Amino acid sequence: MNSVESSFRDPSGYVFEEDNEIYRTVNYCYKENYDFLLSSGLCDNLVKKGYLISHEELEESKFKDVYKVLKPVKIPFISYPYEWSFSQLKDAALLTLKVQYLALKYGMILKDASAYNVQFLDGKPVFIDTLSFEIYKEGQSWNGYKQFCQHFLAPLLLMSYKDLRLNQLLKTNIDGIPLDLLNSILPITAKFVPSIFFNVCVQAKLQKDCEKRDIDYKKKSHITKQQLVLINTKLQDLVNSLKFPLKDSEWGDYYTFTNYDKAAFESKKSIINSYIDKVHPKTLWDFGANNGLFTRLASSMGIESVAFDIDPIACEKNYNMIKKNNEKFLLPVLFDLTNPSPNIGWANKERVEISLRQKPDLIMGLALIHHIAISNNVPLESIAKYFSALSEYMILEFVPKEDSQVQKLLATREDIFPAYNAEGFELAFSKYYNIVEKKEVVNSKRILYLLKAI
C-alpha cells in the first residue's frame, strides 16, 4: 500500500494506491458526514450528473481503524491547474460552484474548494474528493470561499484580463494566487466590474485588515443559506462572463499545416497508425501535440492519450474540440518540455512531475526534436536519455536541416549543430534506444522512427 503524498491535509480520510488501483479511506471522524452524503441522495445526484467521481464501497477491508474504504473510478492521468488551458480551468471552476450549489440544496456544503479536487475524465471535469462535503450548519459561511478565489477566480481573471500565461503563478503559489497579488496585477478596467471589484479589491482589503486586527472570533455572525446560494450564483455569473482573451478571428487560423502537402500528411498518418498498431498501447503521451491532430489517431482508437503542448492557445483549441465533439480518451495538458512541471508542495511530493504520475506504454514526439535540439540547444543524447526514461516505446519524427521549419529556426542564429542530421540522430539515440522501424514520410525529408528503449 502506497499512501498518496498529496493526501494529508484533510483528517476525514486519505488516498492510497494498491495494485495499480486507487482507494480512499473514510475515517470515523467523517462518518456522520459520509452517511448523510449518501442518505440525502446528494451523492447519487452528483454522480448521475457526472459531477462527482463514482465509487464503490469495499465490503471487506483489512483496515480496522477506518469506517469505510472506497474504490473510486481511476483517473487515467492526474493533471494540475497550472497545466490546464483557460477553458479547462473555467469549466473546473464552474463545476466546483455547481457542486456547492447542489450540496446546499441537499443540506450540505463544500468544506474546501481546491482546484486539485477536480480532474478530467472522458473530456470533462469531475470532482474527485468524495470527502469534501460536510453537513451544513445554519448561519455558517463558506470556508472554501477564499480558496475558491485563490485557486480559480484569481488565475481566470488574470488570464482573461491580463495574460494567458499568468496561470503559471499557480506553480509558485500552491494554495492559489493571493488576492493582494491579484489586486496588484489586475488592470484597473477589470476593477470597474462590480463583482470583480468586490471579490478582489474589497476582499483583499478585508483580508489585510483582518490580519492586522485582533478579530474576536467568538462573536456570532449569520449568513443564511439563501445568501450562500446568492453568492454562489453571482460567482457562477462572474466566471461564466470571463472570456478567452483572443477573439475567434485572431486565433481561429492560428495553426495551419502549410509544411505538408496532402500526400505527406496522409503518409505521416498512415505510418503513425502502423506504429501504434505494432505497440498496441493502452496509454499514450504526445509531446508537442499542438491542437491534438495526431494525438487523435490514438484517442480515436480508445487509447488513453495526453496531448502535451507549450502553447496555451493550442491547448485551448484542443480542449474546445474535445468539448464540441464530445471526445473521450484525450486530455490536453499545458506543458513546457524544456522546463517541465516540477515536484512542488510539502517535501516536494504534493504535486509531482509527469514521470511520477504515469508510465505510458508509448510516447510520441512529432515535429518536435528540432525545437528542443536547435531552439534550446539540448544535446540529442540528452533528449534520448529523457524520453527513454519515460516510456519503453517512442514514435519520433526526425526533421532534418533542409526542412523549412528548421530553416526558420536557423535563419536568425548561427548553426552550431554539425551533428544534427539523421546519422547523428541515430548515433545519439542508439545509446538509449533500438530502432524498431524507420520510414520516410513521402514528399518530405522527414523520417518517422519507432524506437524501443534498451
Instruction: Examine residue 231 and tell whether it contacts another protein (CB under 8 A).
Output: yes
Burial of 302 (0-12, 13-18, 19+ CB in 10 A): exposed
Instruction: Examine residue 253 and tell whether it contacts another protein (CB under 8 A).
Output: no
State the Cα–Cα distance between residues 86 and 314, nearest whole angstrom.
11
> Least separation, in Å, of the C-beta of 238 and another protein?
9
* Residue number with CB closer to another protein (93 or 363): 93
Instruction: Examine residue 332 and tell whether it contacts another protein (CB under 8 A).
Output: no
State the Cα–Cα distance between residues 178 and 167, nearest whole angstrom.
13
Instruction: Examine residue 218 and tell whether it contacts another protein (CB under 8 A).
Output: yes
DSSP string over 332-366: EEE--TTS----BSGGG-SB--GGGT---SEEEES
Determine phi and psi for 354, rounding to 5 degrees. -60, -35
Q: Other C-beta atoms within 10 Å of 413: how many?
A: 11
Integer Rg of the chain from CA: 24
Within 8 A by CB and 6+ apart from 138, the residues are: 224, 225
Instruction: Examine residue 263 and tell whether it contacts another protein (CB under 8 A).
Output: no
Instruction: Examine residue 243 and tell whether it contacts another protein (CB under 8 A).
Output: no
- Judged by CB under 8 A, the residue of 38, 210, 263, 419 near another protein is 210
Cα 369 from chain centre: 24
* Residue number with CB closer to another protein (11 or 187): 11
Tell me the window of 153-161, 231-239, 397-405, 444-452 that interacts with another protein (CB under 8 A).
231-239
Q: Which of 157, 169, 95, 167 is nearest to 132 (CA)?
A: 95
- State whether residue 147 is helix, strand or coil: helix
* Residue number with CB closer to another protein (234 or 328): 234
Instruction: Examine residue 139 and tell whether it contacts another protein (CB under 8 A).
Output: yes
| Residue carrying the nine cell digits 470571463 | 242
Alpha helices of 225-311 — where are they, by DSSP H? Answer: 225-241, 248-251, 262-279, 295-299
* Residue number with CB closer to another protein (15 or 298): 15
Contact 115, 92 (CB under 8 A): yes
User: Binding marks (x or -) toward another protein, 94..133, rule CB under 8 A?
Assistant: ---xx--xx--------xx---------------------
Instruction: Examine residue 138 and tell whether it contacts another protein (CB under 8 A).
Output: no
Instruction: Examine residue 149 and tell whether it contacts another protein (CB under 8 A).
Output: yes
User: Which residue(s) pair with 121 in the sheet?
Assistant: 124
State the Cα–Cα distance between residues 234 and 36, nearest whole angstrom.
27
Instruction: Examine residue 264 and tell whether it contacts another protein (CB under 8 A).
Output: no
* Residue number with CB closer to another protein (221 or 326): 221
* Residue number with CB closer to another protein (129 or 309): 129
> Least separation, in Å, of the C-beta of 208 and another protein?
7
Instruction: Examine residue 10 and tell whether it contacts another protein (CB under 8 A).
Output: yes
Please list every residue from 173 through 202 that binds another protein, using CB under 8 A: 193-195, 198-199, 202
> Least separation, in Å, of the C-beta of 9 and another protein?
6
Binding site for another protein (CB under 8 A): 9-12, 49, 97-98, 101-102, 111-112, 139-147, 149, 193-195, 198-199, 202-204, 206-211, 215-224, 227-228, 230-234, 236-237, 241
